[in-house]
Structure 1
Amino acid sequence: MITVAGTVASSLPARTAFAYLSAFEHTSEWDPGTAVMDKLTEGPVAVGHRYHAEALFRDKRQPIEYEVIELFDNHIKLRGEHRNLVAFDSIDVRSLSSGSEVLYTAQFSINWPYKLLQPFLKPQFMKLRDPALNGLRQKLESL
């Protein structure tokens, strides 16, 4: 499994930051690696909520279907499926005296036969980290 993770500090209260980030359809507003993110389930975010994404990977749009699999306190975890991989995206927000801190973790499990290429693909996934964290930081500060 390939894991990409990082933290972002924000002056926003944890509750405000989490309310924005748990509405996963906003991902394309801050993650340059997500070209499209559409909400497929109406109503407030809950376990079972579904999203359609088009992620940019190696200059190609890749469709991924996401589902919320965990949601509590200031934590959300989604499972995404693509024909070549399974992704798990987690967002955890904690309160700080000066605002909040967001921990974003994305884990990718490559499906067979592409699993053999995982060591070569890892650097490509790692390249997604910094632009996403920078976009997240900028978006939270603009709210």
Structure 2
Amino acid sequence: MARYRCTIETPLSVEDAFDYMARFSHASEWDPSVVRAEMVTDEPVGEGSEFEVVVRSLGREMPFRYRVTEHDRPRRVVLRAERGSIVSEDTVTVTALSVGGSAVTYDAELRLSGPARILDPLLGLLFQGIGRKAESGLRRELGKDRS
């Protein structure tokens, strides 16, 4: 299993930070590995909402259909996608800061199943690089005024 976890402090309110993160179509704004992302179900975003996310990795574009499996506004959202032997689960938690603003914790897990599990060590290394780039973009985007 590959995992990348980061916590980012932002001037955004808990509600604004949560709403931005729960709308996973925003992933193309902060994750450079995401070629495009769009919501493919009806509004509003909630449990059962789905997002088509196309990721470029190792020179290939791979579509993933993420589904919101948990939506506890404004605290926690969980998104899950499965594609062949790959399972991706992203958990976002948002907490208020005593000085104002909020802290967003992004916890991404990528698992391989079946014979592909032999590639887990390589996937772990690759995922760390992808995660660091996504974290940098997320820090930039969460620092913007969204009012």
The normalised TM-score by structure 1 is: 0.94
1:47-102 deviations in Å (ceiling 9; x for gaps): 11111111122232111111110011321001111123010011111110231111
User: 5+ unaligned residues in a row in structure 2: which ranges?
Assistant: none
Residue 78 of structure 1 corresponds to which residue in structure 2?
A: 79
Count the aligned residue pairs.
143
Q: Classify the secondary structure of the residue corresponding to 1:52.
A: strand
How far is the alpha carbon of 1:139 from its aligned partner? Answer: 0.8
Aligned to 1:100: 102
RMSD: 1.2
Partner residue of 2:142 out of 116, 140, 143: 140
- Alignment of 1:35 onto 2:35: yes
- Correspondence 1:24 to 2:47: no
Q: Secondary structure at the match of 2:114?
A: coil
Amino acid at match of 1:134: S
Q: Within 5 Å, which residues of 2 pair with 1:124-139?
A: 124-139=126-141
4+ residue runs over 6 A deviation? none
Gaps of 5+ in 1: none
In structure 1, give the amino acid aligned to 2:105: L
State the Cα deviation string for residues 12-46 of structure 1 (Å, max 9, x = none). 11111111111111111111111111111011111
Could you say which residue in structure 1 is the equivalent of 2:117? 115
Report SS of the residue matched to 1:32. Answer: coil
